[in-house]
Chain A
């Protein structure tokens, strides 16, 4: 039994699903029954839809158990550890036999997430044991000229994973060529897209890969200081980053005269964000690090020339940095073998919304949306009809079902009117109202606008007002052209990417789901039965038992009826609050 190892996934998602309690229970059983096995922690394994996840490795192989809870873990330990018989129906992945999730794993290529779920992120040695800090050792011991490091990055074809997809190698080159006594390396860990968590998983699950990527960047461009700007909503990520930085300092991976190179000085500080979406924009982010209001600045000058504290600065996304050590160690060709044409390597997506297998997936660039949703995502929850997928968050757009064969690359996605974004992929089904989705995003951008540009500040507000009106059944025929005109003006007259792209969710839904807008405006109907104000609530006489629950609950007294007598809703009084619908135990309220 000595060689058995149990690993519990303790990322934010696992903890939220109850993995902490499972871990404690394992400790308890281990002590109570005096069992001998190693117990370890890891972070997000990616299969968030089956959290909590517990992996058992023994002489025969590895077995990943899903949906584990305190009760199940007792059973698993008893059967698997004590009696050596794995419980097949709980196992979601194993190297011994196929599970229903075979396709989910087979379609993935893990480069960014190579260590996530395989190591304990709180111990630097675990990262080192999986070739961690080998890339930086290699280039420093071989005295690889910085130009050659940049060339490798350039040849790999990797493009920034933060959204815009600018060539990372080129960016590094600009920063290298800017002459200055001081340069900065900044990691953008603001992950503002609501509905995306790739960066969180990497930071929590493999913080050292980001640190190593930044150290390599510092070597390549000649920087001395690094900052990681991390969202305040990610307390666990901040904690693990700080821990990782301290460990790296102890091992002299950070500090002065690193890796035996005189004058190679580099250290990293974590800066906690303070809750502003616009601070994900690089110039606003730097203003925020400097301690000011996070207002974007005009570019040029680009950060590579004049960035943080007016010094040349290289800023990349978490995922971008996490890939760098792998590229340096395995060579640019190993990376560029994945993907196609101008889109190389892999990309991590956070698959969420009405999808069966919600979680993190890493796939080669160029895969189609359909493959992601059906092969990896397992299809739509309750087998409803797939309607659209939202890419790129508040700056992106909705791609409809009939374009599901669009390949996931920067150019094809942009051609649909959406953007690739940072990797948030929110799946919507027939019950999602697209006008409401547009309203939701406008509400977000309107609140998050920093207020610098008039068109962003006021234009988004006017658009939001129109959209709200439409979802409340007060839309007018001229609203659609008004939205289109405002959208164009906002796009033309704003300074930063926030304003520039804010109309995208409206424009794409207008392009692909105009009929839904028209139904709201002309027929005062919400085809997805989502917008409450546009619904009609009626009693189904055959189902109503006359229990008076709805009648008593109705806040406006719109329901007539008595004990054992079929009820009736007076439409002219009904305020469409939906209370009767949620309270009825007999499904006797019909919505149309």
Chain B
């Protein structure tokens, strides 16, 4: 059942990074009082923080008058919402039908070995979170994975690990100025 996917992470009060609650003001401003606003509010919160911190539930409930249990009920129903922080880079391996019959299992296994995490977990350095999704809509390039908004197709275990490796390398050079080529096709 859907609720089964929620893994409550023990919150260690000392380890908590302070959540800047003012970041969410503009989202609340935008959706407050509008009908059907609950999911967009939570989506806004997640875009802001990468997950939905407990304090943010409190704040949204207080300022919009929505019930906290409704907010929490919705947040735990949909796969998109996270209640604990994720890594900087989320790697989403497709386990749709097309990818499954083309051996997507191996990709997850190899990435698990490389990153030393289980499915749904975040690496210790908080750089990567490994997730499974059902179909990215690129089934003809199966098996696929999505990192950020970029999709990679026709993978095998090695290719997937190489892609993650190269991101890791780039991230470790992060404080150097960004020399990536501009992507003209996006313009």
Contact = CB atoms under 8 A, between A and B. Distances in A.
Contacts of B4: 447
B98 A23 contact: no
B19 interface: no
* Interface of chain A: mostly helix, strand, loop or mixed: mixed
A197 B137 contact: yes
A502 interface: no
B80 A451 contact: no
B185 A23 contact: yes
Given A358-B140, A449-B1, A274 B36 contact: no
B144 A16 contact: yes
Interface string A509-552: 00000000000000000000000000000000000000000000
Contacts of B101: 353-354, 426, 428, 432, 437
Interface stretch (B83-91, B115-123, B149-157, B164-172): B149-157
A290 B35 CA distance: 7
Contacts of A437: 101
Contact of A23 (B135, B138, B184): B184
A468 to B, nearest CB: 14
B157 to A, nearest CB: 8
Contacts of A24: 181, 183-185
B70 to A, nearest CB: 8
Contacts of A293: 73-74, 77
Contact of A353 (B73, B102, B134): B102
B138 A13 contact: yes
Contact of B134 (A272, A277, A449): A277
Contacts of B81: 274
Contacts of B100: 440
A428 B42 CA distance: 40
A294 B140 contact: no
A276 B97 CA distance: 16
Contacts of B183: 20, 24
Nearest to B1: A451
Contacts of A41: 185
- Interface residue range, chain A: 35 or more
B95 to A, nearest CB: 8
A105 interface: no
Candidate in A192, A447, A450 with the most chain B CB atoms within 10 angstroms: A447
Contacts of B73: 293
A234 B146 CA distance: 11
A487 B139 CA distance: 29
A372 B186 CA distance: 35
A196 B139 contact: yes
A451 B137 contact: no
Nearest to A458: B1
A136 interface: no
B75 to A, nearest CB: 9
Contact of A275 (B1, B78, B139, B184): B78
B139 A350 contact: yes
A487 B133 CA distance: 26
B37 interface: yes
Contacts of A271: 36, 39
A194 interface: yes
A232 interface: yes
B137 A351 contact: no
A393 interface: yes
Given A233-B137, A350-B139, A19 B185 contact: yes
Interface string A202-246: 000000000000000000000000000001111110000000000
Nearest to B66: A291
A16 B138 contact: yes
A192 B95 CA distance: 13
A479 interface: no
A145 B39 CA distance: 38
B108 to A, nearest CB: 13
A17 interface: yes
Contacts of B146: 233
Contacts of A274: 39, 42-43, 78-81
A16 B185 contact: no
Nearest to B97: A195
Interface in B107-137: 133-137
A94 to B, nearest CB: 22
11 contacts: A24-B184, A197-B137, A236-B149, A291-B35, A292-B74, A351-B140, A354-B101, A358-B98, A426-B139, A437-B101, A447-B5
Interface of B: 1-5, 35-40, 42-43, 70, 73-74, 77-81, 95-102, 133-142, 144, 146, 149-154, 181, 183-186
Nearest 3 pairs of A and B residues by beta carbon: A194-B96, A195-B97, A48-B140
